[in-house]
Structure 1
């Protein structure tokens, strides 16, 4: 007869088994942590790229709209006559295209486009006093463009110095101090609005009719003021009133102190467009044979007169845009080519991209 089998004593885990389990656990934890880091880094990078793409889209639309509207005159042709009522009196302001030429950069409406080329010692031509804090080594692009939707004259001018009457819009389309062009298919005049009010008068049936009244008195304040109230001709109902201004794109440090940013300066008012734009380079399409097609792209320093700038029919813009994410220990050994200008390399862990735009000045095309 076989007796009961003796029971074996239970033994705990040995040191070897514990160490093996710990090693396996550490390997699994390391794998999970690596997956987490990769996922987190990918998420941050994707978010940064998306933000950069959105910034690029907005920048392209913003610059494109201003460039396309440069020199807009309504239905008046590019060769049509324009009277400049802004101070100083063009008869005493020097030679050249006196009906357009102005000594102040902000009111130089004879130049649809203008620029300032970064050099080793500054800019060529020199920057005007109204453009400040520009990052060294970056170009400046300027266009004279329409700033607001057109409004229309609703009553014939009684004299060449009469106020201009438009529809009483809300909010008011114009304010005292705005630079305005009134234009029809036969001519145009540039002046500074010295006042805008809503008034009323009786029509032919004796019914009160409201209208917006645009005043353009001969005054010296605010700057630049008008040297004359006379617009040179009586504009009829249907003529367009276009608010115009000098728009400059340049690189300054961001208002938040986060590095360079693209700024848009309208006359004296500056607005930050997008952070992370570190460089701007511009070339201008020169129509040397008068067929309204660019024959060669040149830097701003190649254009030294108003007549030379009037040959510009397009602009080519290159921007260096950096993402917001920084990865410690990561660098980019590449240099970036911006229209022949080499920028970089960088060692701050940020992803960068060069954006190049070629934009036509529509009002200079055939």
Structure 2
């Protein structure tokens, strides 16, 4: 009998060393995958933040530019040019509205030029041309104050929510909304007195024109009678629901009666208090909701604030002014205001200027250079030093610098903002198409 030898099948497996090697290799591969994922995700966040920043910056510039182009705009009486006659360069005859109303400042907003406060003229007692210092005014601001002093009603400079952002300029400009008011002619008529002044103006609103109601007229509002040659601002009262009667001189509301000039070119009656817009731009500190703050561009129209876009840290303006000799130079707001310490001559004034025509260069602003510094609003902890660098030309940076670089006139920390964000400068050069109104 043969003996049968049985063999157990061999069993294969991994040794502990082999298992550990495999795990290490797996971890290395996984770490590589995770690193690639994180790098890609971080890059995507940076690109997305940069895209939002670019979009917000362009939107802010577009909104600013549309208003800057309207600065000093009247109805259709802008002369808008420089003539050269007799060998001398001078501004075309200014066509600023004639003010017959006694309380002009009461119909305006954000006024920082009170009557009688040095160097402004005393309150007039006779009709006068709309003054240059009320047409537009900018304010050059540092970390704690502005020159000249900003209007009452604007927030103080600070780092808390609702404060005005430190180191950012302010600009107030004015223009007439020529789409408002009522056209004269047809059923809307002007009735003169025997001496050529206006007795009353009867309005029958045409299609597309506003009704005469509380939204478009309130007692005490000033009116403006304008055509393509001139304008007159006066106080009036409403009678019989649609007839505007200029207030008599003895009421104290008018310095003189408006003139019923004939003939008129496309005459129109405006509610000056409502249709003459005062637009002020400034930056306000806003809360991002996670304990951080940023700046928001605020557009203030006739005293009412509206937020345009967030992520704005700096706002600065330079003003291209054409002086009496025809030379154009770019000045800061404080230089425009005092004629660069009196070294720049005033251009020829409108008829009947007040006093020494203080602030005359504000009406000679031919272009405005606007600068915005935008941030991405979100902290990105993986940003490298190079990615956080940015240039802001107002500070004289010729190459991108870190947020806390000593060369910066105003650092994000001075404003209460975090350094760890993307930042980019946006700028535009705007031609003031209503130059020399």
Q: What TM-score results when the alignment is normalised by the length of structure 2?
A: 0.65
The yes-or-no answer on 1:296 pairing with 2:329 is yes
The Cα offsets for residues 173-216 of structure 1, whole Å up to 9 and x where unpaired, read as 9623577644212221235787799x7xxxxxxxxxxxxx4857
Aligned twin of 1:175: 216
Structure 2 segments unaligned to the other structure (5+ residues): 80-93, 106-120, 157-163, 193-197, 339-357, 397-407
The Cα offsets for residues 290-313 of structure 1, whole Å up to 9 and x where unpaired, read as 54xx61111111123231222221
Aligned twin of 1:153: 183
With 143-152 and 14-23 compared, the bigger mean Cα shift is at 143-152
Whether contact under 8 Å (1:196, 1:215) holds in the other structure is: yes
Give the Cα separation in 2 of the matches to 1:28 and 1:95.
87
Cα distance change on mapping 1:326 and 1:175 into 2, 3 Å: same
Aligned twin of 1:203: none
The yes-or-no answer on 1:356 pairing with 2:419 is no
Whether contact under 8 Å (1:284, 1:315) holds in the other structure is: yes
Give the Cα separation in 2 of the matches to 1:125 and 1:295.
22
The yes-or-no answer on 1:326 pairing with 2:379 is yes
Give the Cα separation in 2 of the matches to 1:180 and 1:39.
62
Give the Cα separation in 1 of the matches to 2:237 and 2:256.
10
With 253-262 and 302-311 compared, the bigger mean Cα shift is at 253-262
Whether contact under 8 Å (1:286, 1:298) holds in the other structure is: yes
Give the Cα separation in 2 of the matches to 1:254 and 1:191.
41
Structure 1 segments unaligned to the other structure (5+ residues): 102-108, 200-212, 220-224
Structure with bigger strand share is 1
Give the Cα separation in 1 of the matches to 2:210 and 2:126.
39
Aligned twin of 1:186: 229
Give the Cα separation in 2 of the matches to 1:61 and 1:278.
17
Cα distance change on mapping 1:187 and 1:334 into 2, 3 Å: closer
Give the Cα separation in 2 of the matches to 1:119 and 1:296.
22
Cα deviation, residue 322, structure 1: 0.5
Whether contact under 8 Å (2:323, 2:361) holds in the other structure is: no
With 148-157 and 320-329 compared, the bigger mean Cα shift is at 148-157
Cα deviation, residue 254, structure 1: 2.2
Aligned twin of 1:314: 367
Larger relative contact order, structure 1 or 2 (CA cutoff 8 Å, min sep 6) = 2
> How many corresponding residue pairs?
336
The yes-or-no answer on 1:344 pairing with 2:411 is yes
Cα distance change on mapping 1:130 and 1:163 into 2, 3 Å: farther
Whether contact under 8 Å (2:78, 2:436) holds in the other structure is: no
Aligned twin of 1:36: 37
Aligned twin of 2:200: 162
Whether contact under 8 Å (2:390, 2:424) holds in the other structure is: no
1:244-323 aligned within 5 A: 244-254=276-286, 258-289=293-324, 291=326, 295-302=328-335, 303-304=337-338, 305-323=358-376
Q: What TM-score results when the alignment is normalised by the length of structure 1?
A: 0.77
Give the Cα separation in 2 of the matches to 1:196 and 1:145.
28
Give the Cα separation in 2 of the matches to 1:196 and 1:58.
45
Cα deviation, residue 334, structure 1: 5.2
Cα distance change on mapping 1:81 and 1:325 into 2, 3 Å: closer
Give the Cα separation in 2 of the matches to 1:255 and 1:232.
53
The Cα offsets for residues 58-77 of structure 1, whole Å up to 9 and x where unpaired, read as 11111111111112223213
Give the Cα separation in 2 of the matches to 1:96 and 1:195.
24
